[in-house]
Amino acid sequence: MLEIGTKAPEFELADQNGNLHKLSDYLGKKVILYFYPKDNTPGCTKQACGFSERYPQFMEKGAVVLGVSKDSVASHKKFEEKYGLAFTLLADPERKVIETYDVWKEKKNYGKVSMGVVRTTYLIDENGIIVKANDKVKAAEDPEKMLAELDS
């Protein structure tokens, strides 16, 4: 996980519509950058729907939400349409940003060890500095927690 107080690494990824987004596009806004394992899985769906339901509140607080996984642009589009998601999903199939943000790790599931995305949420301030980092994310609670972080 990246250190709090460090500059968030710049990136450029395509969203669910194929449009490119750079982190620097969001200077002057708070950015909730969350990494999740896979579209259309139970935990990831809960987390995404939670962010989507609260998106107007995030916008009121001057924040944007960006979800990143290694799924394709097409997969993200289906995920967005199926659940009516109100925010940007970024596709990182080559894992460039996932690895830069140190969320590609060894995971244990039922005794089986594999590599995968560890659910992680970063809060980046208006100047591009990481002010919060959490790699012990509970999918269903994360959106509410991040909303509270914006007030603190």
Residue 70 DSSP symbol: S
Q: Which of 43, 44, 86, 42 is nearest to 68 (CA)?
A: 44
Give the number of other Cβ atoms within 10 Å of residue 119's Cβ: 21
Active site includes 49?
A: no
| Cα atoms found within 13 Å of the Cα of residue 112, Cβ hemisphere only | 5
Q: What is the DSSP letter of 72?
A: -
Q: Considering Cα of 48, then 54, then 56, then 60, what sign does the dihedral take? A: negative
Catalytic residue among 2, 31, 32, 44: 44
SS3 assignment, position 56: helix
The structure tokens 């080559």 sit at 94
CA 141 – CA 74 distance, rounded (Å): 27
Residues with a catalytic annotation lie at 44
